[in-house]
Every structure is written in structure tokens, then in C-alpha cells.
Amino acid sequence: MYWCRLHLTTEQQYQYALEEDRARQRLWAEEDLARQQEEAQARMGWGMFLVALILSLIADIVEFFTVGTIGWFVGFIVDLILLAMLGFSKAGKKQFKKWIWGPLIETIPILSTIPLFRVGFLIWAFASSRSKKLQAVSELASAGLSKKVV
């Protein structure tokens, strides 16, 4: 390929270099588009978030006012619904690790009387799926935790 360039005129070499640059730009543009589409699919949608938020608020309110009797059962049913919603969608799978801490904390008897764990972790998962800065902080935190465990 290089030996062919030696026999070309200056204008032909310029055209050749221009075509190479255009091909690289097209390739980079295609890679950028593919990455942006992947990031858009990884975001949790507003519709899913609002339905999950309303269900979480209902469960937390019922748990707070019934002091864990009927509220525990309602919270368990809502957690199963949220698990199905967030666990089986592409966007929810990426945020599942952040959200699951809310229902896990709600199973501890003393901590279950404090409301809004489920809602707090749901909001954190949604916000970190939308904000680049929160994604970076979340990755640093999970990297730090994995280093401490090992």
C-alpha cells in the first residue's frame, strides 16, 4: 500500500489521504452512535421509575402505619412486583444492584420500621442511570468495596 503512494502525484496523494480520513471519521461516527444507543438502552425510563416509585411509596406508607404487621406482607408483594419490573428489563438490570439494597434492609426487623429505604435506593438507582457523574461515583464506590472484600 505504501509503495503505491510513492508513484502517485501530490494531488492524488492528497485525495488518497482525504479518503482515508473520511473513512476513519465514518467508522468513529458509527462507533459513537452504537455506544450512544447502548447507553440509552441502559437508562431507566421515566415510566418505569414513576410506577416503581408509587408502588414503593405505598409499601413504605403501609409498613410505617401498620408497624410491620400487614405492612410486611404488602412490602413483600411490592418487592416481588418491583423485582419483576426491574429485574427483567434491560435498563433495570444495570440498576438492580443499587435498588436491591432497599428491600434487603427492609427485612431487618429494627430497620424495617424506618420508612423510605426502598424509595431512597430506587431514587439512587434511577438518578445514577441518568447522570454521568453519579455513574462515575457509583463505579468508584463499587470498585472500592470490591477491593476491601478481596
Rg over CA atoms, the chain:
25
pLDDT digits (tens, 9 = 90+) for 24-40: 888 888 887 777 766 65
pLDDT of residue 149: 47
Residue 101 — very low, low, confident or very high, per pLDDT cuts 50/70/90? confident
Angle at 78 between CA 72 and CA 81, to 5 degrees: 145
d(CA 63, CA 127): 25
In the block, cell 409499601 appears at 59
pTM exceeding 0.75? no
Are the CB atoms for 52 and 96 separated by under 8 Å? Answer: no
Give mean pLDDT, residues 118-129: 82
